Amino acid sequence: MARFVTVAAGQLGPIARSETRGEVVARLMALMRQAHANGCDLIVYPELALTTFFPRWYFEDQAEIDQFFEREMPGPETQALFDLARECGIGFYLGYAELTVEAGIVHRYNTSILVDRSGAIVAKYRKVHLPGHTEHEPWRKFQHLEKRYFEPGSGFGVTAAFGGVMGMAICNDRRWSETYRVMGLQGVEMVMIGYNTPVHNPPAPEHDDLSLFHNHLVMQAGAYQNATWVVAVAKAGVEDGHPLFGGSLIVDPNGEIVAEAKTEGDEVLVHPCDLDATTFGKTTIFDFARHRRIEHYGLI
């Protein structure tokens, strides 16, 4: 008997810096209702889905930076999303900026959570591959200061949920083969990835036209080489004058795109994902136990 998880990719259009958490959560709830109406078990939202992509700006005042971070999840503004998930019986992946205090030390992470159909958080992931730079670089048209505002997370774990083996990554993680392989070695059957990706790359503008190609390339390869579904969801459009590309998609375990966004606005893609479709690849060409030759991979 097939194990189907009907998934929605809940793409967001731009979030203005002036937009309140309440306004954004209302948009997330509208997408969730649409997913529920289409019989979805799970909706995947983008990276930093509650705010504008603030690492594009250089701030000196830490209090100004911290306004973009969540100190609790759910919090006063996000509780309604959890309540709706419980009411609809639909799970979700949500990306956000997390501020936490551990042993008296403040930490700031680029985080995602997986919430089950009862509204309970069942997994948390903190972004490992932080792109960009640390110091102010005023020659850029915009900054990419993730290395300044976040610290890296650790590990690519998987979670038993929705009847399968689920994994999470965030944005730049999708470009690294190790992201998929570490989860693949744990039997992952669905990798959820939220992203906010600028159209323009100031150090290499000649790459701008390749952005969507690279977006597709890495996730199709990751899906195929690890026999897993990949659900990748953008925040897209012109956000505070800065274009982010869309290209949200759902990729099957053969590396084929089965659903792809048509817009750069709020949009829902829906696909019934058969988790048992991962079995063929995991037991034949990508049977890691039989075919990997780790004695030759010493450099990694």
Among this protein's residues, is 127 annotated catalytic?
A: yes
Among this protein's residues, is 264 annotated catalytic?
A: no
Checking if the pLDDT of 1 tops 90, the result is: no
From the candidates 40, 88, 98, 127, give the one annotated as an active-site residue. 127
From the candidates 40, 88, 171, 273, give the one annotated as an active-site residue. 171
Among this protein's residues, is 147 annotated catalytic?
A: no
Query: For residue 227, which of 182, 188, 281, 159 has the smallest C-alpha distance?
Result: 281
Checking if the pLDDT of 209 tops 90, the result is: no
Mean pLDDT of 278-290: 97
CA-to-CA dists, residue 1 to 31, 40, 70, 168, 182, angstroms = 30, 19, 41, 26, 28
The string of pLDDT tens digits covering residues 113-157 is 999 999 999 999 999 999 999 999 988 888 899 999 999 999 999
**Helix spans in 135-208 (H):** 146-149, 177-184
From the candidates 40, 47, 88, 239, give the one annotated as an active-site residue. 47
Checking if the pLDDT of 214 tops 70, the result is: yes
